[in-house]
Amino acid sequence: MLPSREVSMQLLEEWVKNINLRKHMFAVEAAMRAYAVIYGEDAEYWGQIGLLHDFDYEKYPTLENHPFKGAEELRKRGYPEDFIKTILAHAPHTKEPRDTPVKKCIFAVDELCGFLVAVTLVRPSKKFAEVSVESVKKKMKDKAFARQVNREEIIEGAKGLGLTLEEHIKNTLTALQKNAAILGL
């Protein structure tokens, strides 16, 4: 059985001190909840996957450790194994198959959320409300912009969901716009 969001928030607060990393996890949570609604799935379950997908990154930022150390901690705390495997699926180096809609989704939204925040932060207003799908696509073509974001994973993620890049950007951007207050953008 999945622990409550309050229990997951306690874990996040215990492990993640970096406010920007927390905001990233809130953004991924918002996108996962939105996709759960689109797919007719459990928004609480999907949302908590987004909330905790990177909770171990601050302590264990290397490929050898992240998200494996987090998976160990989640097991100790009694999280369901399918939840843990879904978190592993967000990171390609884990080789966890993306064989369910929720696994495809966590992979698809992770990099895109980071990119959408970067696009928003360069706007004068720093507000999601002023970001459009077209402006995101334009920034994706600029390889010097947000170089750390893997554009190939964003494109692969959209395809994995059976969506065009535009549809995926729109779905994710809309989720972040609806949660802008929580994200401070």
pLDDT tens track for 106-137: 999 999 999 999 999 999 999 999 999 999 99
Q: Which fold has domain 5-183?
A: Hypothetical protein af1432 (1.10.3210)
Confidence (pTM): 0.96
Given this model, what pLDDT does residue 139 score?
Answer: 96
Query: pLDDT confidence of 77, banded at 50, 70, 90?
Result: very high
| Rounded Cα gap, residues 109 and 29, in angstroms | 9
Domain ranges of the chain: 5-183
Do 8 and 77 meet the contact criterion of CB atoms below 8 Å apart?
A: no
- The per-residue pLDDT for range 40-57, each reduced to its tens digit, is 999 999 999 999 999 999
Given this model, what pLDDT does residue 88 score?
Answer: 98
